[in-house]
Amino acid sequence: MGKMLFVYNPRSGKGQIRSQLSYLLENFGKHGYEVTVHPTQRAMDAAAFVETHVKEYDIIVCSGGDGTLDEVVTGIQRSGCRIPLGYIPAGSTNDFANSLGIPRQMRQAGKAIMEGEVYHCDVGMLNEAYFVYVAAFGAFTEVSYKTSQEWKNMIGHMAYLLEGVKSLSALKSWHMSFHSKERSGTGDFLYGMITNSNSVGGFKGITGKDVTLNDGIFEVTLIRDPDNFMEWPAIINSLLTREKNRYIITFKTSKVEFCSEEEVPWTRDGEYGGSHKDVLIENLPKALPIIVMEHSNELLEEIPEEEEDWEESPIEEN
């Protein structure tokens, strides 16, 4: 009989995991697993528990939002143990699950874990901290971690939009330099994201075309401070449609550094990632063995076509 650790956040989404818990555990038991259940108690509880106990199990399954997944992956990576991870999404956005084709319905996601196959996905590092699919700074990034769980549960994506609108009047740019093998520059930036996902904040396609999750490469998107506030609608539209815009810089890389004279607040998978003057972001290729639906590997590992470069205004090159 195999041993499973089941970690779940009872507050994610609308707490629907409670109504499905008995069914899921019974299903795992029918497939020969002895299950240990650990409901999270506080921030970083999942990371600490998994890091300490992961070597006692054959498989880990977690249920919650992107933040819960981030903690479990952090615990696995810190432990140095590479056992398979199953994910049952229960959050407000679930960007990573959507990118992997993991079912939204909990029972279907549980079934996929028992019948699926392992996909070795990239993991990111921001300085010494891990992230699953996105590291970001600037405009609106505070929205995700300052919006309460209860507010997210009540109105979902609308919570982010309402909080985001309130922050429009206080937009701040950060004077930063960035450097990678592919591209370097300096400028005033309102927003930046380094991603390994097909969607961020529930917006599909915002990270670019032909995204592959196990190619060792991140997609980088930076938004420069526009000349005036009236440019914002065009910038947002270009970000959502991937049309050319002189204020948006995009490139692909496996490693990028950011430097600023003042501390810049960052997020990792929608959770607060600390304030830093110097940030090194690196891709750890195929570091996470996560279970996806059978045959999903073929779709996920398609060789991406070369993406056409956007037409951008000149920036100060290093």
Q: Return the pLDDT at 298.
A: 47
Q: Return the pLDDT at 115.
A: 94
- Is residue 237 over pLDDT 90? no
Contact call for residues 140 and 164 (beta carbons, < 8 A):
yes
Pairing of strands 2-8, 33-39: parallel
- Is residue 314 over pLDDT 50? no
Range 24-43 average pLDDT:
95
Q: Return the pLDDT at 239.
A: 78
- Is residue 177 over pLDDT 80? yes
Contact call for residues 102 and 89 (beta carbons, < 8 A):
yes
Q: Which of 159-163, 201-205, 214-218, 307-311 is modeled with the greatest confidence? A: 214-218
pLDDT digit string, tens, across residues 108-147: 999 999 999 999 999 999 999 999 999 999 875 554 444 4
92-96, 151-155, 193-197: segment of lowest average pLDDT: 151-155
CA distance 115 to 124: 27
Domains and CATH numbers, the chain: 2-115 (3.40.50.10330), 129-284 (2.60.200.40)
CA nearest 205: which of 190, 191, 192, 195?
195
- Is residue 205 over pLDDT 70? yes
**What percent of the chain lies above the pLDDT cut of 70?**
81
Contact call for residues 291 and 154 (beta carbons, < 8 A):
no
77-81, 121-125, 197-201: segment of lowest average pLDDT: 197-201
- Is residue 312 over pLDDT 80? no
Q: Give the type of residue at 289.
A: P
Contact call for residues 5 and 53 (beta carbons, < 8 A):
yes
What confidence tier does 271 reach under pLDDT thresholds 50, 70, 90? confident
DSSP bridge pairs for 316: 186
CA distance 136 to 49: 26
40-44, 76-80, 206-210: segment of lowest average pLDDT: 206-210
**Stated pTM of the model:** 0.82
What confidence tier does 304 reach under pLDDT thresholds 50, 70, 90? very low
- Please count the CA atoms within 13 angstroms of the CA of 312 that sit on its side-chain side: 18
What confidence tier does 14 reach under pLDDT thresholds 50, 70, 90? low
Range 42-52 average pLDDT:
94
- Is residue 59 over pLDDT 80? yes
Q: Return the pLDDT at 311.
A: 37
More confident position, 208 or 130: 130
In whole numbers, what is the pLDDT of the chain averaged over residues?
83
C-alpha torsion 106→110→113→119, nearest 10: 10
DSSP bridge pairs for 272: 267
